[in-house]
Structures are given as structure tokens and as C-alpha cells.
Amino acid sequence: MHGTKIRTFRMLRGYSQEEVAAKLHITQSTYSRIETDEHKLTVEMLKKIANVLEVSVGDIVSNEPIIIQNNASNQGTQIARNENFYSDQKEVYEKHLASKDAEIMRLVKQVEDLMKLLGKNK
């Protein structure tokens, strides 16, 4: 039920299944079953996973999509990009970006039209 989010958070942190399993003191195969929702999570294990992945339990159990923020360092050298989106999340982001692109194009056209009007009124 929450395996997809757990997997996404793990991948965003750059952890392997083995690394997270070791931190949780469980086997990699047990952890893999958690990510595929084949292993029932206790509240205690959910808390441990949240702690290891540096998120809240609410982040994992929430129905809200994962919001990814890319904060560059002051030097601008630590920009990381993660392409490990799930297809359903990627589709949502692509649709959102496409709507923003369309809005930008509409605004550019509007500015061009206004510039033409201003040019004619001189």
C-alpha cells in the first residue's frame, strides 16, 4: 500500500535496497517485499523506515504526490537531478509543465500584441 512511496523516497535519497535494509536490520529480500507491498508493515517498522529515509510517517502514508524541490548550493556545484520518477508521477509533471508552457506562449503573444499596439500609437 505504501511501497511505491517508500521506494521513491529511497531512490531520491540515492540509497540501494541493501543500504536501507542494513539500516533497518532486516534482509534485503524482506525490504524488497516492503517496496512491493508483499510485506505488511507494522507502525514501528513504518517509523523506522521514515527515520532512515528522513521523511515523516505522514509523507509515506499520505495520498498526496511527492513534491521534489531542487535546492542548489551557494556555489552552484551541487545540483543533482534524479530521473527515477514513476511513470504516473512523471505524466502528472509533464502535463503540468505543458500547461505552463502553453500559458507562457499565450503571455508572449499578448506582450507582442501590446507592443504592436504601443508602436502604432506613437
d(CA 98, CA 83): 18
The three three-digit cell numbers of residue 87, written as one number: 511513470
Per-residue pLDDT for 61 more than 80? yes
Give the pLDDT of residue 15.
Answer: 92
5, 41 in Cβ contact below 8 A?
A: no
Could you tell me the pLDDT band of residue 68, with boundaries at 50, 70 and 90?
low
Q: What is the pLDDT of residues 2-57, one digit of tens each?
A: 898 999 899 888 899 999 999 999 999 999 999 999 999 999 999 999 999 999 99
11, containing H or E segment: helix 3-13
Which pLDDT belongs to residue 12? Answer: 86
